[in-house]
Structure 1
Amino acid sequence: MVTLAEVAQHAGVSSSTVSYVLSGKRSISAGTRQRVERSIRALGYHPNAGARALASSRSNIIALIVPLRTDMYVPVMMEIAIAVATAARAHGYDILLLTGEEGPEAVRRVTGSGLADAMILMDVELEDERLPLLRATEEPSVLIGLPADTSGVTCVDLDWSATGALCAEHLAELGHRHVALIGEAPAVYERHTGFADRTLDGLRSRAGELGLGVLHRPWQGGYDAMATTLFRIFDERPRTTGFVVQNESAVEPLLAVLRQTGRAVPEDVSVVAVCPEQVAVQASVRLTSVAVPAQEMGRHAVELLVERLEGRDTDDVVLIAPELTVRASSAPVAPAR
Structure 2
Amino acid sequence: MVTLADVAQHAGVSASTVSYVLSGKRAISAVTRKRVERSILELGYHPNAGARALASSRSHIIALMMPLRMDMYVPVMMEIAVAIAAHARSYGFDVLMLTGEEGPASVRRVVGSGLADAMILMDVELDDARLPLLRESGRPAVLVGLPAETSGLTCVDLDFTATGALCAEHLAGLGHREIAVIGEAPAVYERRTGFAERTIGGLRTRARELGLRVLHRPCEGTYAAMAGALAHIFTERPGVTGFVVQNEQAVEPLLGLLRQERRAVPEDVSVVAVCPEQVAVQGSVRLTSVTIPAREMARHAVERVIAKLEGRPGGEVVLLEPRLTVRASSGPAPVAPVPAA
What is the TM-score with the length of structure 2 in the denominator? 0.90
Q: What is the CA distance between 1:199 and its match in structure 2?
A: 0.3
Q: What is the CA distance between 1:15 and its match in structure 2?
A: 9.3
Q: What is the CA distance between 1:37 and its match in structure 2?
A: 8.1
Which consecutive segments of 4 or more residues in structure 1 shift more than 2 A? 1-11, 13-28, 33-45
Give 3-state SS (helix, strand or coil) of 1:327's partner: coil
What corresponds to 1:45 in structure 2? 45
Answer yes or no: is the 8 Å Cα contact 2:184–2:221 preserved in 1: no
What corresponds to 1:73 in structure 2? 73
What corresponds to 1:170 in structure 2? 170
Q: Which amino acid aligns with 1:323?
A: R
Superposed counterparts of 1:73-92, under 5 Å = 73-92=73-92
Q: What is the CA distance between 1:152 and its match in structure 2?
A: 1.4
Q: Which segment drifts farther, 308-317 or 128-137?
A: 308-317
Answer yes or no: is the 8 Å Cα contact 2:145–2:195 preserved in 1: yes
Answer yes or no: is the 8 Å Cα contact 1:169–1:206 preserved in 2: yes
What corresponds to 2:127 in structure 1? 127
Q: What is the CA distance between 1:51 and its match in structure 2?
A: 1.7
What corresponds to 1:180 in structure 2? 180
Answer yes or no: is the 8 Å Cα contact 1:22–1:92 preserved in 2: no
Q: 1:184 to 1:46 in 2, by over 3 A?
A: same
What corresponds to 1:257 in structure 2? 257
What corresponds to 2:333 in structure 1? 333
What corresponds to 1:318 in structure 2? 318
What corresponds to 2:110 in structure 1? 110
Q: Which runs of 5+ in 1 are unaligned?
A: none
Q: What is the CA distance between 1:120 and its match in structure 2?
A: 0.6
Q: 1:327 to 1:221 in 2, by over 3 A?
A: closer
The CA distance in 1 between the partners of 2:174 and 2:36, in whole Å, is: 52
Q: Which amino acid aligns with 1:124?
A: V
Q: 1:259 to 1:40 in 2, by over 3 A?
A: farther
The CA distance in 2 between the partners of 1:253 and 1:37, in whole Å, is: 55
The CA distance in 2 between the partners of 1:17 and 1:285, in whole Å, is: 61
The CA distance in 2 between the partners of 1:161 and 1:34, in whole Å, is: 47
Give 3-state SS (helix, strand or coil) of 1:147's partner: coil
Q: Which runs of 5+ in 2 are unaligned?
A: none
Q: What is the CA distance between 1:224 and its match in structure 2?
A: 2.3
Could you report, residue by residue, the CA deviation over 1:163-189 in whole angstroms, capped at 9, with x for unpaired residues?
A: 001101111111111111000000000
Q: What is the CA distance between 1:95 and its match in structure 2?
A: 1.1
What is the Cα-based RMSD across aligned positions, in Å? Answer: 2.9
Superposed counterparts of 1:5-20, under 5 Å = none
Identity among equivalent positions (%) equals 75
Who wins on radius of gyration, i.e. which is larger?
2
The CA distance in 2 between the partners of 1:81 and 1:216, in whole Å, is: 30
Answer yes or no: is the 8 Å Cα contact 1:134–1:153 preserved in 2: no
Answer yes or no: is the 8 Å Cα contact 1:24–1:310 preserved in 2: no
